[in-house]
Each structure stands twice: as structure tokens, then as C-alpha cells.
A = this chain, B = another copy of it.
Amino acid sequence: MNKVGIKEIAAKANVSTATVSYVLNGTRNVRPKTRERVVKVIEELNYRPNDIAKSLKSRRTNTIGVIAEDVTVFNVPEIIDGINEFADKHDLHIILTNLRLHRRVGHNYSNVDAYRKYAESAVSDLLSKQVEGIIYIGVHPRDVTGLINTYGKPIVYTYCYTDQNVSIQYNDEQASFDAMQYLVKQGHKRIAIISGLMDSTPSRLRFNGYYKAVTEFQLPFNPQYIKIGDWGLDSGYRLTKELLTLSEPPTAVLVMNDVMAVGTLRAADECGCQIPRDLSVVGFDNREFSDYLNPRITTMDLPLHEMGYSSMSMLTGLINEKEVKQEEQPLCRLLERESVAPPRQE
């Protein structure tokens, strides 16, 4: 296998191992003639330096540990892609640990103790592997303070946060406000909201954005327009039906994720309510299918790639002990498609 080492090269080229090392790294001048001889042998034997040995001496591994709570969740691959882009540019490698939380503990994230052992062993393994820093990717934005201890090794959280560490999160409140502003600009006033579970951070923040818009644009505030769902398709369906049967139904609805928006479409269809003519819909997440529905739904695209990239940028800052200041939160972007129109004249 890869048995050829620096000393074979040295022997075959009639030089010392030191010289070979200098040639490999350009660390010092070597007489061109000697260098050529060495280079030739290196190529002939297809020599490849052993990073393990290298790391031992240099105390640098150029490796970042990435802990993903679950890679099969829709937002994670794109975050990883952003991490990879940064890693490529800066010659860093990624050791990926997948906690597989969905399969192991279901949706019971609130019970941190159920998976602390997995997280801790992941961290421990990564520290043993001498990673230079860690990125922790949650499956759902929430507080994970106290979940793990990296013993001083830099860590950046994304898609979740702690009260002590750097974390990268998109601006949820702004996103929801932007969506509302867009609807208002289209002429809507009676705007309903279907939220996710209210014990979740994104729900709270998005509701803040909604409320802020209601205040700022002086929209009618009608508690009947506020519906609390559970992120699932069925809740979107049920709550939309409730909205449509109000004596004064809304002309638009902001739905906090695309999955519930599917329920909204279905409910509207059954009620003979045409989207967007009779009801405008804005979703959240830009799930792939949101572009395959009929009508294609207008939705907020999450800056996932950017979050991954920023996490790495932040992390490398911490590793080099530069002072890092928490950056601006990445922003969501509204994707205008077919599910929004001006309200009908009454």
C-alpha cells in the first residue's frame, strides 16, 4: 500500500530526509539540481506525505469537526454545502458526525438528556482526532445550552444556539416582517397567520415580525386571524378551513412553513376558494416541493448555504484567536411565485 516514506525517497535520491522535507514544503532553499532529483523520485514512487505524522509535529490538523443533529433533515445538506465551500477555499477538511437524532430519539428534542450521551461522545471523539474547531448544526432552532462541553475548543452553533457561544442564525423576525410588508404592498389588510408550535423559537420570532407589521402598517388586529398549528400538513388544512369560514375571512395568510401551506392549498381547493384570487398565501422554508405545487407557492427562502459558510468563517476566526464579533444575521429572501395576488375588490 502507501508504504513509501520520506526515507526511501531520501535514499533513492542520495540526500537526507531533511532535504526531502525542504523540497516538499519549500521551507528552505535547495539547489535546483538536487531538488529536481528529489522531485523525480517522489513522482516515480508516487509518494504522498503522511498527514498523520505531519500533524503530530505541527500540532495542526487543518480539520474541522462538524456535528449534525441529523443530516436527513431538509435544511442540513445545504448548510454542509456552505461549510464545504469555505473549507475548500481554505484547505480545511471536514470530519462529519451525524447524531441521527430523528432515528434515535424521534422528535423529542426538548429532552436534552435523551441525546446528550451521543453529543458528548461525538465531541469527545472529535477532540481526540485533534480537530481545530467544531460546528454544531441543529435540526431546529432552539437553545441547547449545556448540551456539550468542548473544554475550550472553539465551537460555533448554527440552526441552534447557546447562551455562551457564537451562533449563526438567520433573522426570523425580519423574514416574517418582510413577508408581511410584501403582502401589504399588494394591498392586503386582513392578513392571517398560521404559526408553528408556540414553544419554538422560530414561531415566536416570526410571530413578532407579524405583530410588528400589524402595528407598523396599522392593520386590523383580529385574534381570529391568529392560528396556532403544529408544523404539520393537517394543522394547515384544518386551520385554513377555520379561517375561510369566518364571517370576514382574511384575504391573505402567512403560513410558517411550506408543509402547512400544502394543507392550506388543499383546504382552499375544497372550499372552492381560488388561490391566489380569493386568498393569497406566503409560505416559509422554500422546500423543494413548494415549486411543484399548483399554484407554485411564494415562500421565504432560508439562507442555509450562507449560514454554513459564515459558521466556518466565524470558527476560523475563533481558532486564530482574532476577536470575532457576532456578524449580522443572514437574511431570508422572498421568492415570488404564484400564490400571491392583490385582494379582490369587494
A residues adjacent to B (C-beta < 8 A): 1-2, 46, 48-53, 55-56, 61, 63, 66, 71-72, 74, 76-78, 80-81, 84-85, 88, 93-98, 100, 103, 124-125, 127-130, 151-153, 233, 259, 262, 266, 269, 287-289, 292-294
Contact = CB atoms under 8 A, between A and B. Distances in A.
B129 A51 contact: yes
14 contacts: A1-B152, A49-B128, A51-B129, A51-B130, A52-B52, A63-B95, A71-B77, A72-B77, A84-B98, A84-B100, A233-B292, A269-B294, A287-B288, A288-B289
A95 B95 CA distance: 4
A168 B289 CA distance: 28
B100 A85 contact: yes
Given A93-B95, A288-B289, 9 more contacts: A2-B127, A2-B151, A46-B151, A49-B128, A51-B128, A52-B130, A56-B56, A71-B77, A71-B84
Contacts of A55: 52
A56 to B, nearest CB: 5
Given A124-B48, A151-B46, A98 B81 contact: yes
Given A88-B100, A127-B48, A129-B93, A71 B61 contact: no
A85 B97 CA distance: 10
A128 B51 CA distance: 5
Contacts of A76: 77
Q: For the complex of A and B, list the 6 residue pairs with the smallest distance between their C-beta atoms, beginning with the closest.
A: A289-B289, A84-B98, A96-B96, A51-B128, A262-B292, A71-B77
A285 B125 CA distance: 35
Nearest to A53: B56
Nearest to A152: B1
Contacts of A52: 52, 55-56, 61, 129-130
Contacts of A85: 100, 103
A127 B1 CA distance: 11
Contact of A72 (B1, B81, B130, B293): B81
A98 B125 contact: no
A292 B290 CA distance: 10
B72 A153 contact: no
A221 B72 CA distance: 41
A124 B52 CA distance: 14
A51 to B, nearest CB: 4
